[in-house]
Structure 1
């Protein structure tokens, strides 16, 4: 059998790490021990003896944070031995190796991460209650995390100058950055004569900010954002199973 489908560019990519990008849109996890946490429904294929389980919030404190902030997404824990392939709505996949650092990331942009990383939902420093409370997921420790961007990303050095980003375009940033909410809502907003750019996230300090060329990903666009929200709420509000890790 012959076809351009069997060209080298379409074959499985071997690698030395646990997270191996297969293409700009897909990632493979080599699993031999431990487990990984991934976005529920993001598995597209696997080989071997692999087990999928619902990932609970990890206790009542995290459960309450997820419900109050809306930052939590349905996750699954994967264990066993084999290779698992992940993708979501053909979004671009990027792998970040954390070496004792902390990364603040929009939960909607998380594809998977190693269970060696600790996760928490935290209020953005400086954005605070003035904005009604803006929250992000913080991953800390040593391990790999795969993130999604809606198109090729841009990495900005926040140390060069104060950096301002549309909240829906911000993907992740160094957790040590000071974050502030910049608003310019006045009489023009009341008259309907705004530019549509009245709210931005400002970043100050030493670190980086990753921006995607889209303002719609909450998650993968407005429609899928509603689907994820419906998944989170399915079963009607309080779910005792969410308290169990």
Structure 2
């Protein structure tokens, strides 16, 4: 049998994390270095591998219940190679260092089991779609595999050059950055969903670090309302940051 498909062979590498292709992650395990992966993302494996549901600590359960942010994970262990993918999204491997990484949990594909995470509030008077009122702050030494819809844009932030990005397109940013949320519309139209511009909430990043933006905005239906009443439709009330997440931090420990 002959076919161009036989050109898509396994990517040979000694690295722990390798991109098999832009939409698939290849992870090599040596028997003592488990990883945590999003549930249901294993597409193939070789060797003696085991997949178990990851136990959620009381801290993780509290974080999920109060913030909606959390990670549905499985533990991958053993000796061999596992291939991970999710809806053909583009995969990117990031080294988490002392600066830490803040990310929307919806874009995490896998991470080293030794990393620590906690849910933090994005300070604002209003809730937003996309990045959400809460995000995950990942710290420690290790790697995280992120997913984006299409090839992303990495924006460098310096003290003399801050960056603004649409909150619906932001994937992750350096934890060391200061973040402010604001509306792109004028004050007269801020209470109408995205005003007349098609633009809405944005995140402003200041300090030293980077912000990752994808070429896709995950928008809610224009007339969708979370909860009841006008306040809920525009991200205020009990579903807005002003109502529920002033300085709250929820840990997985």
TM-score by length of structure 2 reads 0.78
In 2, Cα distance between equivalents of 1:180 and 1:99: 23
**Alignment match of 2:126 (pick from 128, 131, 139):** 131
Q: 1:93 to 1:217 in 2, by over 3 A?
A: farther
Greater CA deviation, 176-185 or 38-47?
176-185
> Deviation per CA, 1:82-108, whole angstroms, max 9, x where unpaired?
111000111001111223331111111
Aligned residue for 1:6? 6
The 3-state SS of whatever aligns with 1:6 is helix
In 1, Cα distance between equivalents of 2:44 and 2:52: 16
Aligned residue for 1:65? 63
> Deviation per CA, 1:184-211, whole angstroms, max 9, x where unpaired?
4643356775213131111111000010
In 2, Cα distance between equivalents of 1:175 and 1:131: 21
The 3-state SS of whatever aligns with 2:23 is coil
The 3-state SS of whatever aligns with 2:98 is strand
Q: Is the 8 A contact 1:101 1:142 kept in 2?
A: no
**Alignment match of 1:205 (pick from 181, 204, 207):** 207
Give, in angstroms, the shift of residue 214 of structure 1: 0.2
Q: 1:144 to 1:217 in 2, by over 3 A?
A: farther
**Alignment match of 1:102 (pick from 96, 100, 103):** 100
Q: 1:185 to 1:73 in 2, by over 3 A?
A: farther
When you count helix as a share of all residues, which structure comes out higher? 1
Q: Is the 8 A contact 1:185 1:198 kept in 2?
A: no
> Deviation per CA, 1:198-229, whole angstroms, max 9, x where unpaired?
311111110000100001289xxxxxxxxxxx
The 3-state SS of whatever aligns with 1:22 is strand
Give, in angstroms, the shift of residue 150 of structure 1: 0.5
Give, in angstroms, the shift of residue 24 of structure 1: 0.4
Give, in angstroms, the shift of residue 144 of structure 1: 1.2
Say what the alpha-carbon RMSD is for the aligned residues: 2.3
Give, in angstroms, the shift of residue 164 of structure 1: 1.2
In 2, Cα distance between equivalents of 1:188 and 1:16: 55
